[in-house]
Amino acid sequence: MLIFLSTYISLGIYAMVITITMLFRRKGIFIAEILITVFSYFILSYFDKAYLYVFTVRAITYINLYFIISELVDKSTVLDALGEKGVPIIIALAYYPYFFQLSSEVSFYAKARGIGFNPIKISRPLLVEMIKVAENLYVAYTVKLFGNYSGKRNLKPRTSDLILLTIGVVIFILSLVFPL
């Protein structure tokens, strides 16, 4: 939350740099985001629209936060804090890696078969699998989670929560002390 707030208050360059470095293990995302930030700055400067660069920084920071949270935040923490309202968030965080892997496999097999980039042919297997997952989630939700959630709430922060909170506080303080 503090990383989000610091990005909204200032230019957010600190938040973007720190969140990009946290995604260093994902080389494809890391390189793509570096290229997007550099090219966006030069293109916007060339057209005398450099004041719009703040939106590029914010968008990249928000995307990085989603990736980081999907890796660091324990799903039970979200459920403890939000109750049954946290179920859609948990599902989104749990299925992001699955759909990423699925889309990578579909692209690989399409290249192997010589299909190339045909959006209609590539989207069919993804759509079929997403519908299967949605049907399975619907059945699981109606059978297991129907009605009021009566789980015990444990609001004690875990280690990953404290790490993310510490990083957020540092970025927030940097954006207030050294605004760009």
**Sequence letter at residue 92:** A
Given 3-state DSSP classes, what are the helix, strand and coil percentages for the chain, each rounded to the nearest 5? Answer: 80, 0, 20
Contacts of 67 (CB under 8 A, 6+ apart): 23, 26, 29
Cα–Cα distance list, 96 to 9, 46, 67 (Å): 29, 36, 9
Would you say 21 and 67 are in contact if contact means Cβ atoms under 8 Å apart? no
- CB atoms closer than 10 angstroms to residue 128: 10
Sequential pLDDT tens for the chain (180 residues): 566 666 666 667 777 888 888 777 777 778 888 898 899 999 999 999 888 888 888 888 888 877 777 666 666 767 777 777 777 777 777 777 788 788 888 888 888 888 777 777 778 888 888 888 878 877 776 766 555 555 566 667 778 778 877 888 887 787 777 776
Task: Report d(CA 112, CA 124) in Å as an integer.
Answer: 17
- The full set of domain ranges for the chain reads 2-73+164-177, 75-144
Contacts of 3 (CB under 8 A, 6+ apart): 15, 18, 19, 61, 65, 167, 168, 171, 172
**Sequence letter at residue 28:** G
Would you say 20 and 34 are in contact if contact means Cβ atoms under 8 Å apart? yes
Of residues 57, 30, 33, the one with CA closest to residue 44: 57
